[in-house]
Amino acid sequence: MKTNRKRSARLLALASAAALLLIAGCRQDMQNQPKMIPQRESSMFADGRSARPQVEHTVARGQLDADEYFYTGLVDGKEQNAMPYPVTLEVLERGQERFNVYCTPCHSRVGNGDGMIVQRGYKPAGNYHDAKHLNQPLSHYFYVMTNGFGAMPDYSAQITPVDRWAIAAYIRALQLSQNATLADVPAGVQVQNLKDIAVSEGLPASYAGPWPIATDTDANAEPHTEIVAGAPGEGAGYPTVNQPQIKPPVKTSESKAAGKAPASH
């Protein structure tokens, strides 16, 4: 009996010692594992830095951005009057939705530069229907959304490139809606009077009247009040280009009944 007890005690002691060694070994291995902690120096490399510079001429997955015009709105450093992909009803509807979210506070839903922020003292925004903006290339709007312009900050973080192009197409549709003729209406499409559309939507006929255009939407103008807002003026103008090449294949209008029927004044 005594012999068995001694043998059990020895086995227990050996097992305990082995367990302690195993635990100590695991802790030591985890504690001193070979790794580089960010921003710490290292004697492994000649420059003494643990963080290594990226390999030259490599591109992260999904960041190739090979289509220069799609991502910059420029060809050889110049704005162009064309879309990088076909304009469909879906594209215009997406552009309208994004425009109403991001652009209307300054430019208003009808694009006359008299949005709610401007009415409350912010620097006047561009009026898409004046001669200057009508003569700007389509990609100008994409470029401004990407890089900012004058008092307007860039929206590259908020709006994806494909949506910036959709907004640009919708801006052109807004411009065409104020200069459209019956010849611009696709064959087989019925033309409705805006006042009739307004009444059918439960609105007064006067709701479909002409848009109020702000008298002072010059980008270099001062705010309407004594509030100091905005950035320095936009500066140089833009070369005259041909009239817009993209004609919306859908019905447009200048009131909240937009998208139901083209209009002529």
Q: How high is the pLDDT of residue 14?
A: 82
| H or E stretch covering 13 | helix 2-31
pLDDT for 157 equals 95
Per-residue model confidence (pLDDT) at position 84: 96
Note the pLDDT of residue 189: 87
C-alpha of 209 from chain center: 32
What CATH number does the domain located at 62-265 have? 1.10.760.10
Q: Which residues of the chain have pLDDT under 70?
A: 1-3, 21-32, 211-265
Q: Please, where are the H alpha helices in 103-210? A: 104-107, 116-119, 131-134, 138-147, 161-177, 194-200
- Alpha-carbon distance 161 to 157, whole Å? 10
pTM for this prediction: 0.58
The amino acid occupying position 66 is: A
